Amino acid sequence: MNCQRFETVVSELARGQMMAAELRTEALAHSDICDDCAARLGDEQMLTLGLQSLASELESLEAPRELEAKLLEAFRARTVVVPIAKRSNSRYWLAAIAAMLLIAISVVAFRWSNRQGDEPREAIKQEQPKPDVSNKSTEQLAQDVEKPPVEDSLPQQWKPKRVHPVTLRRPNNAAVANHVTKEIATDFIPLSYMSPASLQEGGQIIRVQVPRSALANFGLPVNMDRYNEKVKADVLYGVDGMARAIRFVQ
Q: For residue 233, what are the contacts with CB-CB under 8 A and spacing of at least 6?
A: 207, 208, 209, 210, 214, 246, 247, 248, 249
Closer to other proteins at the Cβ: 65 or 115? 65
The yes or no reply on residue 26 touching other proteins (CB under 8 A) is no
Closer to other proteins at the Cβ: 5 or 247? 5
Q: What is the CA radius of gyration of the chain?
A: 45
Whether 244 and 203 have beta carbons less than 8 Å apart is answered as yes
Closer to other proteins at the Cβ: 17 or 181? 17
Q: Which stretch binds other proteins (CB under 8 A): 39-47, 97-105, 133-141, 181-189?
A: 39-47
**Burial letters 96-133, b for 16+ CB under 10 A, else e:** eeeeeeeeeeeeeeeeeeeeeeeeeeeeeeeeeeeeee
Classify 185 as helix, strand or coil: strand
The yes or no reply on residue 54 touching other proteins (CB under 8 A) is yes
Q: How far apart (Å, rounded) are the C-alpha atoms in residues 16 and 140?
A: 83
Q: Which one of 16, 25, 78, 81 is in contact with other proteins (CB under 8 A)?
A: 78
The yes or no reply on residue 53 touching other proteins (CB under 8 A) is yes
The yes or no reply on residue 7 touching other proteins (CB under 8 A) is yes
The yes or no reply on residue 46 touching other proteins (CB under 8 A) is yes
Under the rule (CB under 8 A), what is the footprint of other proteins?
2-4, 7-8, 11, 15, 30, 33-34, 36-37, 40, 43-44, 46-48, 50-55, 57-59, 61-64, 67-68, 70-72, 74-76, 78-79
